[in-house]
Each structure stands twice: as C-alpha cells, then as structure tokens.
Amino acid sequence: MKYAATTANGTKPGTAMNTVKAGKAKKKRGESLVERHAALLLAVTILLIWEGWVRYSGISPFVLPSPLNIIRRIFTDFPLLMSHLSVTLLEVLSGYGLAIMLGIPTALLIFYSRACERAIFPLLMGIQTIPKVALAPLLVLYLGYGWAPKITLAFLISFFPIVVATTVGLQSLDKGLVNLVRSMGASEAQTFFKIRLPAALPNIFGGLKVGMSLAVIGAIIGEYVAAERGLGWLQMMANSRFDTTLNFATVVTIAGMGITLFFILGQIEKRVVHQRELAK
C-alpha cells in the first residue's frame, strides 16, 4: 500500500499534492502495518502464548482453561449467556438511565441556585467518598433479591460522576460568551440552549462515559451479593461448581457488553459533540 502511493507520486508529479491528501485520509503516513495494528498484534500474541502454555503444561481446565475452549464455550452456551446478559443489561441501563435523568437536573440545580450549591455539593462530596459497593449488602437488606438493589447500585455509582462533570462543564463557561449572547438580547433559556449546554457537552460526555463503566460494575457487584439471575450471578454459580471455563466465558461476555455500550456512547458523542480544536 505504501509502495503503491510512492509509485503514484513518482509517476504523476503533477498530482503529488492530491495523492498525499488522499493517502492521509486512509492512513497516517509513515506508519507501518505493524505499528497500525500494534494493539491487536499484542493481544493475539498473548492469547497464543496462553493457548500454547495451557496445551503443553497440561494444566487442569479447572484452574486455567485455554482461550480456544473459552471461545468454544461461549458458542455452545450462547443462549444461556444471552439470557443472563439481558438481565444484567436491563439493570445497567435502568440504573444508568436514572442516573442521567436525575444527575443532569441535579447539576442544573447546583449551577443555578447558590443555596442548592451550598446544600448539595458538600453532601455529594461526602457521599462520593463512600465506596458505593460497600452499600450492596445494605441494599439487599432493604430492597430484597430482585431488580431493585442492582438498579439502585448501578444508579448510585454512576450518578456522582455525571453530576460532577455536568456541573463543572456548566461552571467553566467563558464569561465572554454569556456577554456575547446577552448583547444580542438572549433570555436565560436561550443562553442555556445556545451556549451553556453545547459548551458543557464535552464535559457531560466525559461524565457519561465514566458513569457507564461504573454502572456495569454496580450491577455486577449487586448480582454477586444476592441474585437469582444475571451475569454476576452466573459467574458466582460457575465458581461454586468449579466451572472455570464458564466463569471465563462470562467475564468475556461482561467485557463485550461494556465495550459495546461504550462504543455506542462514543458514536453518539461523535455525532453530538464537536471538536474544539483541529485534530493534529
């Protein structure tokens, strides 16, 4: 590929500029194949070493299953994994959705009312220092074994980063921009929707991303403590039966879910949030 580009440059000097531009859109110049896929290569290498070591050391699959076996297990137990995934996913999305629906209005309250800022912010910071997972047993005590404690935990753990990031985003607005739109006669509602919200979006998405990964953790921990369904519960069950292959298969499923959610959020961010500076 690199070779082809060079040849094109050499044979058609008149279009050299265009060629370079077109080449740049596809890949960064001067990057070799190895450099571009470095992460993938490293991952594949690690998996190969793992696979090889498991095969030749003869280590028991109860202790460490091989990657190929884990993948095979994911395929054979796919319906099982998916049915538990749907439970966990629903918990994550409910808790996370709740955190967004309550977190952003809370940030607005803190931003617009000094009294609320004084009242809520120290409280938030105080609660922030409690490791939320430590509340899991209490939540089970009060809310039982069903959906409620998992959703609550996912909510609690993702709520704070969303509130804090949104508040900081709103507060860090350039005062000049506010004066600009005020000089055009903007109302506060217009100032909010035309300036404050779009300017805070990069921060808000930062909080949403952190919140997303935490919500997954919250739901899984909730299921560890007490549950009858869900990927966390499935893992605990696999553990008690020494089914380490299923255990690993569940971990992969959890990771896949987290990555997919993160990817979707990233795609939304790409559509919604503009770059402040030009990409280098």
271 counts as binding other proteins under rule CB under 8 A: no
- Binding window for other proteins (CB under 8 A); candidates: 73-81, 138-146, 175-183, 237-245: 175-183
Give CA–CA dist 126/105, Å, rounded. 20
Nearest distance from residue 193's CB to other proteins, in Å?
Answer: 10
CB of 280 closer than 8 Å to CB of 246: no
The packing angle between helices 78-112 and 231-240, to 10°, is: 130
H helical segments located in the chain:
2-11, 16-26, 33-36, 38-57, 67-76, 78-112, 114-128, 136-143, 147-171, 175-183, 188-191, 197-225, 231-240, 244-272
Q: Which is nearer to other proteins, 128 or 190 (CB)?
A: 190
SS in 3 state form for 102-117? HHHHHHHHHHHCHHHH
176 counts as binding other proteins under rule CB under 8 A: yes
Nearest distance from residue 199's CB to other proteins, in Å?
Answer: 8
Q: Which is nearer to other proteins, 141 or 184 (CB)?
A: 184
Q: Which is nearer to other proteins, 8 or 177 (CB)?
A: 177
- Binding window for other proteins (CB under 8 A); candidates: 18-26, 67-75, 108-116, 188-196: 188-196
Q: Which is nearer to other proteins, 168 or 199 (CB)?
A: 199
Structure tokens at 150: 């998992």
- Choose which of 93, 120, 252, 273 interacts with other proteins (CB under 8 A): 273
| Interface ranges with other proteins (CB under 8 A) | 174, 176-177, 179-186, 190, 194-195, 198-199, 201, 273-278
